[in-house]
C-alpha cells in the first residue's frame, strides 16, 4: 500500500490573513495506511494548513488533489463529504446537546425524514466503543462532561463519519494518560484499516511512537520531510525553530539548605471530595511543581488558593499569618499579592475581542489609578515593560488579543498578571498547546521571577516540564499529596510511578524514555 | 439503566412549568365560584391557548439564541387579515385560512432572512419588522371591525364531546404537526446547535443557516395561528398596539417560565406552552380572589420574578464559582 499513488496531495498552497502570511507555497503529500506527523511551532502554518484541508478556510492559491482528482472544499461539510475529517484543537462539540446528538451531528440517521433516535443511539454507542470510550453515556450532555471526556467524544464523532483522512490537531492535549494509550491503539488500528492519519502534536514522545512519516513546517512552508525515527529529537527541534537548539530549561540554582521562610502555606486543605487534607509550603524563590495524572485535584488546589472555591476547609497562611481569601479580587490584592495564570486562556484569562492594551491593564487598574482616574502614562510605561519582558509579538497594542497567535495570547495572560508584581504565582498548565520557542521563554521567565523572590506553584501535565523547571514536585493522587520529590529525585520514572500511585515501573515510563 | 435520569434532566424545565401550571390551575378552579367545570376549563383554555401559540413561536427563535420582538405584531396583523379573509363560503374560508397562515410564514421568513443573511441583531431586526407588521395591520383595520366565518370559529372554540375544549385540541394538533417534526428533524437540531454554540456547529458541518431560517419562519406561522384563533374568539380584527406588545412581552415571560434558556440551545415548546398557561392562570387568579384589576400587572410581575428566580436556583448548587462563567 505504501508504494501506491498518494491519496491526497497539496501543492503550492498559500494563505494570507491581512498582512500576515500564514502559508507560503506549502506542499504536503499524504499516503493511505500511514500516520503522518506534522511538526512546527505555533504560527508555523500547521493550523492554517489543516483548516485548508478541512474546508474551513479557502486558500489564496495552490491546488489539492484527492485520488488524483483536483478538489476544492467550500465548507467543512464539503470536506467531510470527501472523507476528510478533522478533530480540531478547539473542541467542535455543542454543549447543550447530548453525546449521541453530537456524534451524529453532521449526518444523523433518518426515518421518514426525521431523526431516528434509536439508530442514532446505536451509532453513537458503536463510535464510542471504537474510540475506546464506552464508559461515556450517549445521553449525557456535553456540558456536563469534563474536558478529557469531551475530547474522547470528539474522537468518536470523527470516527462516526467514516473518514478516509483523519486529522488530529493536538487531539491528545486534554487527555489523561490512560486515554492517550487507548487513543493510540485506535489510531494504529485505523492505520491498518487503510486510513491516512495526520497527527499534529507538540509531544515528541507521542510522535516517535506513532508516526511513519514526519513533515516539519516553519514560517508557513514545509522545510523538511523524513521517515519517522531517522532524525534525533534535537535535530527535529532545530528544524522547527530554525536555529541552534541549546538547553530548553534554564539551570536550576543550587539551593542553600536553609531556605527563606515560606511565603505560602497550606494546612489541611479539604474541599468536597476533590481535595483531601493537603498541606504544603512554598518559599520565596522556589518553584514547586504539582504533578500527577490529570484531574487529581491540582486545578482545584490552585483555585482554592485563589479564593474561588466555596466551602473550603483548612487554613491558608501567607508570610506565616493566617489569611482568609474570599475571592480572586482578595487574592490579587496587594496584601496577598497572588496571581493565577489560568489554563484556558480563551475563557478564563482574556477578553478576546478587546485590545492587547485593555487586557493587559485590567488586572492592575486599581494600581494605575489615582482617585479613580487611570494614569495613562504610568499604564503605558508598565505595558511597555511587560511587552519587552515577555517578548510579545504583536502588530500593536490596540489590536484585539484574539488576532494574536496562541503562544502570544498566553504571554499576554501572563503579562497581565505580572503587571501587579505578584509575590505568589500560581500556574495552571500554562504551556498547553504552545510552541517550543514560547515554552522556552516561559521557563526562563518563571526562573527569573523566582530569582526575583516570587513563590511559584506550577501545575503541568508535561513531565519534562516538571523535571526541567521545578525545585520540588508534589505528586497528587485522588486529591491528596502522595509523594514529594526533591532535586535529583525528580525523574520521569519517579513522577510516573507516584502519579499512578505505585512504586514500580510503568509502560508510560518506558515510552517516555525516548523523549 | 440510567436513561430515565438523563431524560429527567432534559425535561426538568418543562416538568417544572407543568407543575407550576397544575398548582396555579388547581388554586384557580378550586376557588372559582363555578368550580372545576367544562365551562371554566373551556374559558381558561381559550385565553391560554392564544399566548401558548405566541410563546411557541418565541421558543423557536429563542432556541437559536435569538429573540423575536415581532411575534405580537404578526399575531395582530394576522388577526386583522383574518377578519377580512376568513369568511364566506367553505372555499373562500379555506382560501382565507391559507392566506393568513401564508402571511405568517412570510413575516417569519422576512425576520429570518434579515437576521441570518442581513446579519442584523435579532433584537433590532424584529423591533423594526414588528413596526412594519403593525403598520400593515393598521392599514387593514384603521378601526376595529370585520367578521369571521362563525361556523368555523365556533367549532374551534367550542368543546368536543361536551368536555374537551376544541382550542386545546387544536393546540395539541399544532404541537404534533409543527413542533414535534421540528424537534426531530435535522434542521431543528441545527437550530439547537446554532443556539448552543454557533462556531462548534459550523465546524461540525451543521446547516446552521437553514436551521435558523426554519425556526424564524415557523415562528411566524405559529404567531399567525395565534392571530387566527384570536379572530375566532373575538369575531373581529383590531390593530391594537398595546395588545400586540403585551403578547410579545408575555411570550418571553412564558418562555422563561417554561424553562427555555434565553442563551439558546436549550428548552422545549411544550415547556413554553405550560409556561404560557401558567402565566395566564396567574392573571385569572386575581379575578377569582376579587382583586382590583389595577393590581394585575404588578401581581403578574411579582409571580414572574419568583418563577425566574426558581429557575436560577440551579446556580445555588454550583460549588465552584468559575462554573458560573463557563
A245-292 residue pLDDT tens: 455 788 887 765 456 788 999 999 998 888 889 999 999 889 999 988
Stated pTM of the model: 0.72
Q: pLDDT of A103-148, one tens digit each?
A: 998 888 988 888 999 999 999 999 999 888 888 999 999 988 887 7
Q: What is the β-pairing status of strands A8-17 and A455-459?
A: unpaired
Q: Which residues of A touch B195 (CB under 8 A)?
A: 96
**Closest to B6 (Cβ–Cβ): which among A139, A157, A300?**
A139
Identical topology for domains A8-241 and A261-337+422-515? yes
Give the number of other Cβ atoms within 10 Å of residue A257's Cβ. 4
> Which residues, given as ranges, of chain B have pLDDT below 70?
1, 307-308, 310-326
* Residue A493 confidence class, pLDDT cut points 50, 70, 90: confident
- Of chain A, the percentage scoring pLDDT greater than 70 comes to 90
Q: Check residue A489 and give its pLDDT.
A: 87
Tell me whether residues B185 and A115 touch, CB distance under 8 A. yes
DSSP collapsed to 3 states, chain B? CCHHHHHHHHHHHHHHHHHHHHHHHHHHHHHCCCCCCHHHHHHHHHHHHHHHHHHHHHHHHHHCCCCCCCHHHHHHHHHHHHHHHCCCCHHHHHHHHHHHHHHHHHHHHHHHHHHHCCCCCHHHHHHHHHHHHHHHHHHHCCCCECCCCHHHHHHHHCEECCCEEHHHHHHHHHHHHHHHHHHHCHHHHHHHHHHHCHHHHHHCCCCHHHHHHHHHHHHHHHHHHHHHHHHHHHCCECCCHHHHHHHHHHHHHHHHHCCCCCCCCCCCHHHHHHHHHHHHHHHHHHHHCCCCHHHHHHHHHHHHHHHHHHHCHHHHCCCECHHHHC
> The domain containing residue B283 runs over which residues?
3-325
DSSP-assigned states of every residue in A318-369: ETTEEE---SHHHHHSTTT-EEEE-S-IIIII--TTSBHHHHHHHTTHHHHE
Q: Which residues of A touch B184 (CB under 8 A)?
A: 114-115, 117
**Closest to B201 (Cβ–Cβ): which among A75, A94, A300?**
A94
Residue A60: is its pLDDT beyond 80?
Answer: yes
Q: What is the β-pairing status of strands A34-39 and A213-218?
A: parallel
Cα(A145)–Cα(B112) distance, rounded to whole angstroms?
A: 33
Cα(A177)–Cα(A496) distance, rounded to whole angstroms?
A: 10
Topology (CATH) of A261-337+422-515: Rossmann fold (3.40.50)
* CATH number of the domain that residue B278 is part of: 1.10.3470
Tell me whether residues A139 and B322 touch, CB distance under 8 A. no
Q: Check residue B321 and give its pLDDT.
A: 45
Residues A205 and A515 sit within 8 Å (Cβ to Cβ) = yes
Total domains, chain B = 1
Q: What is the β-pairing status of strands A262-271 and A275-283?
A: antiparallel
DSSP-assigned states of every residue in A370-433: ETTEE-HHHHHHHHHHHHHHHT---S-TTSBGGGS-HHHHHHHHHHHHHTT--SEEEEESTTTT
Q: Check residue A167 and give its pLDDT.
A: 92
Tell me whether residues A347 and B326 touch, CB distance under 8 A. yes
**Closest to B196 (Cβ–Cβ): which among A77, A94, A137?**
A94
Least confident of A204-208, A308-312, A506-510, B101-105: A506-510
Buried b (16+ CB within 10 A) or exposed e, B257-270: bbbbbeebbbbbbb
Partner residues linked to B305 by β-bridges: none
- Residue in chain A nearest B197 by alpha carbon: A94
Over residues A470-486, mean pLDDT: 91
Residues A292 and A340 sit within 8 Å (Cβ to Cβ) = no
Helix axes A177-192, A147-160, angle to 10 degrees: 10
Least confident of A16-30, A52-66, A290-304: A16-30
Chains A, B: CB contacts within 8 A come to 99
Buried b (16+ CB within 10 A) or exposed e, A79-112: bbebbbbbbbbebbbbbbbbbbbbbbbbebeeee
Round the average pLDDT of chain A to a whole number and report it.
83
A499-508: long-range contacts, CB 8 A cutoff, minimum separation 24: A499/A177, A499/A291, A499/A292, A499/A293, A499/A296, A499/A475, A500/A293, A501/A477, A507/A181, A508/A177, A508/A181
For chain B, report the end-to-end CA distance as a whole number of angstroms: 30
Nearest residue to B269 (alpha-carbon basis) of B196, B203, B218, B211: B218
Tell me whether residues B206 and A105 touch, CB distance under 8 A. yes
| Range picked from A166-175, A194-203, B129-138 for highest mean pLDDT | B129-138
Cα(A106)–Cα(A91) distance, rounded to whole angstroms?
A: 15
Q: Check residue A257 and give its pLDDT.
A: 47
The architecture (CATH level 2) of A8-241 comes to: 3-Layer(aba) Sandwich (3.40)
For chain A, report the end-to-end CA distance as a whole number of angstroms: 30
Q: Check residue A505 and give its pLDDT.
A: 38
Q: Which residues of B touch A303 (CB under 8 A)?
A: 320, 322
Cα(A89)–Cα(B205) distance, rounded to whole angstroms?
A: 16
Cα(A415)–Cα(A426) distance, rounded to whole angstroms?
A: 13
Partner residues linked to A313 by β-bridges: A270
User: What is the domain partition of chain A in residue ranges?
Assistant: 8-241, 261-337+422-515, 349-421
Instruction: Give the mutation candidate from B178, B179, B186 for the A interface (greatest A CB count, under 10 A).
Output: B186
The secondary structure of residue A260, as a DSSP letter, is P
Over residues A447-467, mean pLDDT: 88
Q: pLDDT of A199-218, one tens digit each?
A: 987 677 788 888 999 999 88
Q: Check residue A47 and give its pLDDT.
A: 82
Phi, psi at B183, each rounded to 5°: -60, -35
Amino acid at each position: 500500500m505504501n508504494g501506491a499513488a498518494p491519496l491526497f496531495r497539496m501543492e503550492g498552497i498559500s494563505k494570507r490573513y491581512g498582512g500576515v502570511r500564514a502559508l507560503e507555497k506549502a506542499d504536503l503529500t499524504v499516503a493511505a495506511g500511514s500516520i503522518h506527523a506534522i511538526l512546527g511551532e505555533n504560527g508555523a502554518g500547521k493550523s492554517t494548513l489543516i483548516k485548508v484541508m478541512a474546508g474551513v478556510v479557502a486558500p489564496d492559491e495552490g491546488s489539492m488533489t484527492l485520488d488524483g482528482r483536483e478538489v476544492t472544499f467550500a465548507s467543512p461539510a464539503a470536506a467531510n463529504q470527501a472523507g476528510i475529517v478533522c478533530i480540531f484543537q478547539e473542541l467542535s462539540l455543542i454543549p447543550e446537546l447530548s453525546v449521541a446528538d453530537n456524534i451524529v451531528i453532521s449526518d444523523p440517521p433518518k426515518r421518514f425524514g426525521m431523526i431516528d433516535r434509536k439508530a442514532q443511539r446505536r451509532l453513537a454507542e458503536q463510535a464510542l466503543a471504537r474510540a475506546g470510550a464506552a464508559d461515556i453515556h450517549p445521553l449525557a450532555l456535553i456540558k456536563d462532561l469534563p474536558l478529557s471526556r469531551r475530547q474522547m467524544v470528539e474522537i468518536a464523532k470523527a470516527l462516526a463519519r467514516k473518514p478516509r483522512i483523519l486529522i488530529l490537531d493536538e487531539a491528545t492535549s486534554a487527555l489523561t494518560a490512560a486515554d492517550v494509550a487507548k487513543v493510540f491503539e485506535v489510531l494504529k488500528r485505523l492505520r491498518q484499516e487503510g486510513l491516512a492519519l495526520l497527527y499534529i502534536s507538540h509531544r515528541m514522545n507521542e510522535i516517535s511512537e506513532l508516526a511513519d512519516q514526519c513533515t516539519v513546517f516553519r514560517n508557513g512552508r514545509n522545510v523538511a520531510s523524513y521517515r519517522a525515527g531517522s532524525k534525533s529529537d534535537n535535530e527535529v527541534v532545530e528544524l522547527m525553530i530554525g536555529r541552534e537548539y541549546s538547553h530548553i530549561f534554564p539551570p536550576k540554582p543550587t539551593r542553600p539548605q536553609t531556605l527563606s521562610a515560606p511565603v505560602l502555606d497550606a494546612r489541611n486543605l479539604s474541599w468536597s471530595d476533590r481535595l483531601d487534607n493537603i498541606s504544603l509550603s512554598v518559599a520565596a524563590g522556589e518553584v514547586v511543581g504539582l504533578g500527577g495524572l490529570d484531574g487529581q485535584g491540582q486545578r482545584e488546589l490552585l483555585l482554592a488558593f485563589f479564593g474561588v472555591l466555596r466551602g473550603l476547609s483548612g487554613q491558608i497562611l501567607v508570610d506565616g499569618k493566617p489569611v482568609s481569601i474570599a475571592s480572586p479580587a482578595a487574592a490579587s490584592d496587594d496584601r496577598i499579592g497572588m496571581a493565577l495564570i489560568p489554563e484556558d486562556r480563551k475563557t478564563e484569562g482574556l477578553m478576546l475581542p478587546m485590545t492587547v492594551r485593555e487586557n493587559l491593564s485590567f488586572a492592575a487598574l486599581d494600581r494605575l489609578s489615582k482617585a479613580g482616574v487611570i494614569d495613562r502614562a504610568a499604564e503605558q510605561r508598565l505595558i511597555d515593560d511587560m511587552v519587552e519582558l515577555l517578548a510579545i509579538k504583536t502588530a500593536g497594542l490596540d489590536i484585539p488579543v484574539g488576532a494574536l497567535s496562541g503562544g502570544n495570547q498566553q504571554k499576554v495572560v501572563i503579562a497581565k498578571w505580572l503587571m501587579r508584581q505578584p509575590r505568589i504565582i500560581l500556574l495552571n498548565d500554562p504551556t498547553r498547546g504552545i510552541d517550543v520557542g514560547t515554552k522556552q521563554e516561559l521557563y526562563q521567565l518563571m526562573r527569573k521571577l523566582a530569582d526575583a523572590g516570587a513563590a511559584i506553584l506550577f501545575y503541568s501535565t508535561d513531565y519534562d516540564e516538571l523535571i526541567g523547571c521545578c525545585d520540588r514536585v508534589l505528586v497528587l493522587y485522588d486529591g491528596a499529596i502522595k509523594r514529594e520529590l526533591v532535586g535529583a529525585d525528580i525523574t520521569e520514572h519517579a513522577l510516573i510511578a507516584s502519579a499512578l500511585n505505585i512504586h514500580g515501573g510503568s509502560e508510560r515510563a518506558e515510552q517516555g524514555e525516548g523523549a | 439503566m440510567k436513561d430515565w435520569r438523563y431524560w429527567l434532566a432534559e425535561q426538568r424545565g418543562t416538568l417544572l412549568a407543568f407543575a407550576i401550571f397544575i398548582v396555579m390551575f388547581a388554586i384557580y378552579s378550586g376557588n372559582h365560584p363555578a368550580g372545576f367545570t367544562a365551562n371554566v376549563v373551556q374559558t381558561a383554555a381559550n385565553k391560554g391557548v392564544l399566548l401558548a401559540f405566541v410563546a411557541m413561536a418565541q421558543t423557536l427563535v429563542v432556541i437559536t439564541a435569538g429573540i423575536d420582538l415581532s411575534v405580537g405584531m404578526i399575531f395582530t396583523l394576522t388577526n386583522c387579515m383574518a377578519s377580512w379573509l376568513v369568511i364566506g363560503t367553505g372555499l373562500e374560508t379555506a382560501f382565507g385560512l391559507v392566506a393568513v397562515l401564508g402571511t405568517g410564514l412570510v413575516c417569519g421568513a422576512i425576520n429570518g432572512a434579515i437576521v441570518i443573511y442581513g446579519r442584523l441583531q435579532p433584537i433590532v431586526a424584529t423591533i423594526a419588522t414588528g413596526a412594519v407588521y403593525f403598520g400593515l395591520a393598521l392599514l387593514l383595520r384603521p378601526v376595529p371591525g370585520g367578521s369571521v366565518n362563525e361556523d368555523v370559529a365556533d367549532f374551534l372554540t367550542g368543546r368536543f364531546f361536551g368536555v374537551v375544549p376544541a382550542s386545546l385540541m387544536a393546540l395539541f394538533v399544532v404541537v404534533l404537526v409543527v413542533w414535534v417534526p421540528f424537534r426531530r428533524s435535522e434542521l431543528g437540531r441545527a437550530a439547537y446547535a446554532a443556539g448552543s454554540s454557533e462556531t462548534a456547529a459550523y465546524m461540525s458541518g451543521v446547516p446552521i443557516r437553514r436551521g435558523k431560517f426554519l425556526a424564524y419562519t415557523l415562528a411566524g406561522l405559529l404567531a399567525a395561528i395565534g392571530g387566527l384563533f384570536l379572530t375566532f374568539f373575538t369575531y373581529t380584527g383590531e390593530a391594537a398596539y398595546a395588545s400586540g406588545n403585551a403578547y410579545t412581552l408575555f411570550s418571553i415571560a412564558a418562555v422563561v417560565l417554561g424553562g427555555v434558556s434565553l442563551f439558546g440551545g436549550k428548552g422545549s415548546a411544550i415547556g413554553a406552552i405550560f409556561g404560557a398557561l401558567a402565566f395566564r392562570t396567574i392573571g385569572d387568579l386575581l379575578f377569582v380572589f376579587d382583586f382590583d384589576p389595577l393590581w394585575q400587572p404588578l401581581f403578574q410581575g411579582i409571580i414572574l420574578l419568583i418563577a425566574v428566580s426558581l429557575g436560577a436556583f440551579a446556580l445555588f448548587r454550583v460549588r465552584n464559582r468559575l462554573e458560573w462563567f463557563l
